[in-house]
């Protein structure tokens, strides 16, 4: 578990991809952004950010409210369909970052557990089979904590070089 300075939640604040995120080349970039955006951890929400080789967001996908990391690892078809759709529209970034904001009432537990670690590994491998590199799944809670799926799975919080994809 890591901590960051989470700003107070704005009334009605939500994380929306129309925000212009900075380039996301590392977990440090993501946490710097999260420290300015109070919606991270404020409500249950999963967003899949598609990044290009320079870490720029090329497109994104809000997951449905019942999506979970373990659910996707057992049935990645929604993500596979998103990939096919992106390729049909001319392609989108092949490096994917998932942000998973969890509340005490989320379907998935806070803090994340061994099930999340296994799910990261399985999903990482499933996405690799279709040409997507899962750079990380970063889980946020409302108390200003975050966890890296990559780290939970036994690696470090360091992301692979996006340009090497």
Q: What is the pLDDT of residue 7?
A: 83
Q: With a cut of 90, say whether residue 161 has pLDDT above it.
A: no
Distance, in Å, from the CA atom of 135 to the CA atom of 153, rounded to the nearest integer, reads 12
Q: What digits encode the pLDDT tens for the residues 91-128?
A: 788 999 999 888 777 777 788 999 999 999 999 999 99
* Contact between 147 and 34 (Cβ < 8 Å): no
Q: With a cut of 70, say whether residue 6 has pLDDT above it.
A: yes
Q: What is the pLDDT of residue 97?
A: 94
Distance, in Å, from the CA atom of 73 to the CA atom of 130, rounded to the nearest integer, reads 14
Q: What is the pLDDT of residue 11?
A: 64
Q: What is the pLDDT of residue 144?
A: 92
Domains and CATH numbers, the chain: 40-156 (3.40.140.10)
Q: What is the pLDDT of residue 116?
A: 93
Q: What is the pLDDT of residue 78?
A: 87
Q: What digits encode the pLDDT tens for the residues 136-156?
A: 999 999 889 999 999 999 888
3-state SS track over 129-164 = CCCCEEEEEEEECCCCEEEEHHHHCCCCCCCCCHHH
* Contact between 144 and 136 (Cβ < 8 Å): no
Q: What digits encode the pLDDT tens for the residues 15-31?
A: 554 467 899 999 999 99
Q: What is the pLDDT of residue 25?
A: 93
Q: Which of 7-21, 46-60, 67-81, 151-165 has the lowest mean pLDDT?
A: 7-21
Tokens of 21: 């995120």
């Amino acid at each position: 578990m890591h901590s960051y300075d989470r700003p107070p939640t704005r009334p009605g604040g939500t994380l929306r991809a129309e925000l212009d995120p900075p380039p996301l080349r590392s977990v440090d970039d993501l946490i710097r952004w999260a420290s300015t955006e109070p919606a991270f951890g404020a409500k249950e929400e999963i967003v899949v950010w598609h990044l290009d080789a320079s870490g720029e967001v090329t497109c994104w996908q809000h997951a449905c409210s019942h999506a979970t990391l373990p659910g996707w690892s057992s049935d990645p078809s929604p993500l596979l369909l998103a990939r096919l759709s992106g390729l049909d529209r001319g392609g989108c970034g092949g490096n994917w970052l998932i942000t998973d904001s969890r509340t005490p009432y989320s379907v998935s537990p806070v803090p994340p557990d061994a099930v999340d670690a296994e799910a990261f590994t399985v999903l990482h491998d499933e996405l690799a089979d279709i040409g997507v590199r899962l750079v990380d799944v970063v889980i946020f809670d409302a108390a200003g904590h975050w966890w890296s799926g990559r780290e939970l799975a036994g690696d470090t919080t360091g992301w692979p070089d996006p340009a090497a994809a």
